[in-house]
């Protein structure tokens, strides 16, 4: 993996369903993995910054795991609600300049009531 | 509200012109980042300033320049504008030089006609 890639590109689920999506990133020279949530007509909002292999972070119904050796992170949403509808972005720095983030194209989640 | 402010919200200008976008970071944040979001691209890192100094550079065109002032606000100058420069320009800020959460402003929508 040379770039940050996310899958699937879009996801439609029913209210109450749990869902997850993937972020793949270059595993060599790993420093950090960021997750952001971007609602339509708003700006990206930070969810998590993860740095340690095996790390798991949680915020309400949203959690994320990190595998730096194989270069992937999963974002899970338990019991999806319509207000969870957004594009979820992951980003990682390339090299040791930690502020220079390279973003994936995002997973667009739509939760139907 | 992230605490990051950007002006103007919208800007419409003609090809060949020059514009200045302004960003005020969250109180206490020392880093300012500029990103470009165009229709066919994801969120692209342009440049980072930390405490007045350029810290990291991305794929920023030579026609674009930025600076961070002593009061930590930042300006992004775009000159000799082309149709392809039409995009949403975000500013973000963070406390440290990199690795922590970035807080995004509401963005400036630039339309070049």
What is the per-residue pLDDT for A1? Answer: 60
Chain A residues close to B42, C-beta within 8 Å: 89, 103-106
Mean pLDDT by 10 residues, chain A (113 residues): 88 96 91 94 94 92 96 96 97 85 95 95
What is the per-residue pLDDT for A73? Answer: 97
pLDDT (tens digit, 9 = 90+) per residue, B74-83? 999 999 999 9
More confident residue, B59 or A92: A92
Average pLDDT over residues B30-57: 93
Average pLDDT over residues B88-99: 93
Name the residue of chain A whose CA is nearest to B4's CA.
A43
Of B31, B42, B55, the CB nearest to A103: B42
User: Does A102 reach chain B within 8 Å, measured CB to CB?
Assistant: yes
Cβ pair A97:B56 closer than 8 A: yes
User: Does B62 reach chain A within 8 Å, measured CB to CB?
Assistant: no
User: Does A49 reach chain B within 8 Å, measured CB to CB?
Assistant: yes
DSSP E strands in chain A: the ranges are 5-7, 10-14, 19-24, 33-38, 45-50, 56-59, 62-67, 72-77, 86-93, 101-103, 107-112
What is the per-residue pLDDT for A99? Answer: 85
User: How is residue B18 annotated by DSSP?
Assistant: -
């Amino acid at each position: 993996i040379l770039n940050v890639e996310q899958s699937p590109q879009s996801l439609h689920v029913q209210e109450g369903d749990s869902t997850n999506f993937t972020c793949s990133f270059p595993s060599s020279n790993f420093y950090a993995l960021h997750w952001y949530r971007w609602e339509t007509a708003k700006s990206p909002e930070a969810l998590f910054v993860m740095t340690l292999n095996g790390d798991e972070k949680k915020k309400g119904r949203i959690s994320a795991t990190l595998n730096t050796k194989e270069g992937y992170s999963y974002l899970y949403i338990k019991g999806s609600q319509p207000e969870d509808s957004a594009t979820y972005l992951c980003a990682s720095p390339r090299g040791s300049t930690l502020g220079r983030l390279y973003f994936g194209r995002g997973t667009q989640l739509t939760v139907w009531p | 509200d992230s605490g990051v402010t950007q002006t103007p919200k919208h800007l419409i200008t003609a090809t060949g012109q020059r514009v200045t976008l302004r960003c005020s970071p969250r109180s206490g944040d020392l880093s300012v980042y500029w990103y470009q979001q165009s229709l066919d691209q994801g969120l692209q890192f342009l440049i980072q300033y930390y405490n007045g100094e350029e810290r990291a550079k991305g794929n920023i065109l030579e026609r674009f320049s930025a600076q961070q002032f002593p009061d930590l606000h930042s300006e992004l100058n775009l000159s000799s504008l082309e149709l392809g420069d039409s995009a949403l320009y975000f500013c973000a800020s963070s406390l440290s030089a990199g690795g922590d959460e970035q807080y995004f402003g509401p963005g400036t929508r630039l339309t070049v006609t």
